[in-house]
Chains A and B, each alone.
Chain A
Amino acid sequence: MDKKKTKTKIKKEKKLKLGTFKETAREKLIGQHIGYRYDVNLLPDYKKITPFLKKYVEAMGWDDLNWLEDVHMGYEEDRPAVFCRNANGWVTIPKSIKLPNNQQDRDMIARELLVKFQMSKKHPLVDLKKAYLKF
């Protein structure tokens, strides 16, 4: 009997959509989800840091992930994405990149992609700088 119960539980957990959370009492009261669809306060697991991020941190002369500690893998139109504060928009993750189930690993991928996007010549800020840079 116990084995059967466990199996049903696992199946239910698998059916949960990414980014959804159990409703709080207040969410039940107001009938809608409040807040982010992922844990914005999740602290990074430094064991998961990627070689690229190590290189970036070292190049900047920092001791840890610094501003990237606030970067997490989120969702935009049900697609995994990372928010770029400089462009004020979501950067969706290419389908070619297979994402692990672990949120910490996903966050590290999000951080790496965000750095690559922000440092790219195709970032919207490059055009804005050309147009408005004063000195």
Chain B
Amino acid sequence: MANLKTTENKTKSQSMGMHSEVLTGRTQQKFFNPDEGENLYYFGTYDVDFNKRTELDVKEMTAADANKEIDNLMSQGFGTIVIKNPQGKHSLGVGILNKLNLIFEGSLGYFGMGSCDGPTVRINGRVGWSCAENLMAGKVVIEKNAGSCFGAAIRGGDLICKGSVGARTGIDMKGGTIIVGGDAGAFTGFMMQRGRIIILGDVGINLGDSMYDGTIFIGGKIGSFGSDAIPADLTDTDQDWLKRKLKVAEIGEKFDVSKMTKIVAGKKLWNYDNLEPHEKKGAI
């Protein structure tokens, strides 16, 4: 095993003291003044202009090259980028941490738009598995259908599919909103911890299975409820918010939200307590 102490070539992070700093047992404090200046973007991101538009044909490019070229175009100030011929390539448009108007003229493969923070994306086609996985912020609109694990582990932002989606939509999601205009498969909202899912059509079996928190709204029929998913009362605030969100999603503006079913966690699976295993069994 390499001895880190004797390593002569220090990395940038080591020379900044990030490896020698003792963090255990103390709170790291950072101070900032809320009035220090109005900056609306992350430090170090590109200043792009939505009116500056360009096209990028990715037919002969690998996904990695295409993603680097998108980054390069953003660095030149392009705020609207149209991607031609995506041809179902996997992992396109991942890791964009910038405001951007991105349009795909075609379909994406697996893991499209993963780990993004900020862009507004329109996909004029279909998407494969795990679209917009780990989305932090932004808006992703899919004009047709989506595969399984749609919006897996998203933390924030709006993820919209105008068609239908596969199984395990919003699996492990920790925030944000997923909106589906059509139907959704089995295990929708599986292990979700926070955030909101809106399905205007029907859903398959085991809806909200093992959900810890968050809210699911269903407009159609429910195959069956999963473990610890229970119906709740739809409030006026819910209805106002649903109307607003459907308008933002450009779908179901005329949909009667008052007839939707609201599902929340029963919280019987929460095990953050001091009970012994045999006591937990009795409690559940």
Of all chain B residues, which has the CB nearest A42?
B237
Once bound together, how far apart are the Cα atoms of A71 and B214, in whole Å?
Answer: 13
Max count, chain B CB within 10 A of own CB: residue among A40, A68, A120: A120
Of all chain A residues, which has the CB nearest B237?
A43
Q: Is the CB of A56 within 8 A of B213?
A: no
Chain A interface extent, by class: 35 or more
Q: Is the CB of B274 within 8 A of A119?
A: no
Q: Is the CB of A34 within 8 A of B270?
A: yes
Q: Is the CB of B13 within 8 A of A126?
A: no
Q: Is the CB of A26 within 8 A of B16?
A: no
Give B183-212 interface residues, CB cut-off 8 Å to A. Answer: 194-195
A10 within 8 A of B: no
A19 within 8 A of B: no
Once bound together, how far apart are the Cα atoms of A46 and B247, in whole Å?
Answer: 14
Q: Per a CB cutoff under 8 Å, which of A41, A66, A85, A94 touches B157?
A: A66
Cβ of B71: which chain A residues have Cβ within 8 Å of it?
A: 135
Q: Is the CB of B215 within 8 A of A26?
A: no
Q: Per a CB cutoff under 8 Å, which of B34, B42, B139, B244 touches A62?
A: B139
Q: Is the CB of B213 within 8 A of A35?
A: yes
Q: Taking A40-B194, A66-B139, A126-B43 as contacts, is the C-beta distance between A35 and B157 under 8 angstroms?
A: no
Q: Per a CB cutoff under 8 Å, which of B11, B99, B195 touches A61?
A: B99
B238 within 8 A of A: yes
Cβ of B43: which chain A residues have Cβ within 8 Å of it?
A: 119-121, 123, 125-126, 129
Once bound together, how far apart are the Cα atoms of A94 and B137, in whole Å?
Answer: 26
- One digit per residue, 1 when the CB lies within 8 angstroms of any chain A CB and 0 when it does not, for chain B 136-172 equals 1111000000000000000111100000000000000
Contacts between chains A and B (CB distance < 8 A), count: 134
Q: Is the CB of A60 within 8 A of B34?
A: no
Q: Is the CB of B32 within 8 A of A120?
A: yes
Give A18-43 interface residues, CB cut-off 8 Å to B. Answer: 24, 26, 29-32, 34-35, 40-41, 43
B120 within 8 A of A: yes
Q: Is the CB of A117 within 8 A of B32?
A: yes
Of all chain B residues, which has the CB nearest A64?
B248
Cβ of A67: which chain B residues have Cβ within 8 Å of it?
A: 136-138, 155-157, 175-176
- One digit per residue, 1 when the CB lies within 8 angstroms of any chain B CB and 0 when it does not, for chain A 87-98 equals 101000010010
Cβ of A56: which chain B residues have Cβ within 8 Å of it?
A: 40
Q: Per a CB cutoff under 8 Å, which of B38, B138, B238, B244 touches A46?
A: B244
Min CB distance, B66 to chain A, in Å? 14
- One digit per residue, 1 when the CB lies within 8 angstroms of any chain A CB and 0 when it does not, for chain B 223-266 equals 00000000000000110010011001000000000000000100
Once bound together, how far apart are the Cα atoms of A43 and B264, in whole Å?
Answer: 14
Once bound together, how far apart are the Cα atoms of A133 and B237, in whole Å?
Answer: 42
Of all chain A residues, which has the CB nearest B264?
A41
B2 within 8 A of A: no
| Further contacts, 19 of them, CB under 8 A, given A94-B34, A129-B44 | A26-B267, A41-B213, A41-B264, A59-B40, A63-B139, A64-B244, A66-B156, A66-B158, A67-B156, A70-B175, A70-B194, A85-B136, A116-B36, A116-B39, A119-B39, A120-B36, A124-B30, A126-B43, A131-B12
Chain B residues at the A interface, C-beta cutoff of 8 Å: 11-13, 16, 18, 28, 30-32, 34, 36, 38-44, 50, 68, 71, 99, 101, 118, 120, 136-139, 155-158, 175-177, 194-195, 213-215, 237-238, 241, 244-245, 248, 264, 267-268, 270, 272-275, 283
The 10 closest A-B pairs by CB, nearest first: A67-B156, A67-B137, A131-B13, A70-B175, A119-B39, A30-B273, A122-B32, A43-B241, A63-B248, A59-B40
